[in-house]
Amino acid sequence: MSAGAVLQVQGLTLGMVGRTLVRSLDFEARPGERWCIVGRNAAGKSTLLRALAGLGVPGQLGRIALGGDAQVLADPARAASLRAWLAQSASDRFELTVAEMLALHAPGDVLRPAAEPRWRAQLDQVTQALDIAPLLARPVTRLSGGERQRVGLAAISAQDVPLWLLDEPVSFQDPAHQQGVSRWLAAQPERTIVMSAHDIAWVQRTATHLIALQADGTWAAGQIDHVMTHAVLERTFCCGWRQAGGVWLAD
């Protein structure tokens, strides 16, 4: 494995209900890289992200290391200091305001007087960038799906960890907010981001690297310009593709 990789995956095999979703996956992700997982429905995108987050996938084989240490995911406290996880949809049970929820995600060191102003300033930038500043006083249970999704992204940022694992971060967003999230993710050079998405045009605009999961458990992974080809897209989605103005479109 190479030095400097935040996430290292070797020989990862995942299966479910007698079917192999991912077979012997290998990749490394470094700061500033934005890896996007694509594939058909039920291809294993969410399952792969859950495995990377250490959330327990039955029958999992292979090695996942954070910062070169394969034991981190077995220690919840250490894992929480290195990676943050955003599920596809939130399940809020309490009438917390957005501001209260974001404060709960702050790392412990912001309680020190010297650290809190810097964290507050960073959080203010994030709420502006994600267009959630007007929502801070609103209960999280009264947000739309898109609003709640952007609040979740802000909560990920508030944790100040090096690895972000994001399951469908723009699935509920309108086109303007999709663009805004894309720009915001691209402006995180110190983070390593692994995410899933269905909108290939958004992926093409946002990702630096791609993992394409195919129906037989095989995969293609690497820099997006090398992996996002007609042949890979066709094998991954089982339909035709064409380019229009440099953008891939299902045909």
What structural domains does the chain harbor? 1-82+162-173+192-251 (3.40.50.300), 90-160 (no CATH)
- Backbone phi and psi for residue 176, each to the nearest 5 degrees, phi listed first: -65, -40
* CA-based torsion, 130, 134, 139, 144: positive or negative: negative
Query: pTM higher than 0.85 for the full model?
Result: yes
The reported pLDDT for the residue numbered 102 is 92
Over 60: is that where the pLDDT of 1 sits? no
Confidence of residue 115 (pLDDT cuts 50, 70, 90): low
Which of 79, 33, 35, 39 shows the shortest CA–CA distance to 56?
79
Distance CA 224, CA 243 (A): 15
Judge residue 162's burial from the number of C-beta atoms within 10 Å of its C-beta, 0-12 exposed, 13-18 middle, 19 or more buried: middle
Distance CA 71, CA 65 (A): 7
The reported pLDDT for the residue numbered 74 is 87
The pLDDT tens digits of the residues spanning 122-145 come to 889 999 999 999 999 999 999 999
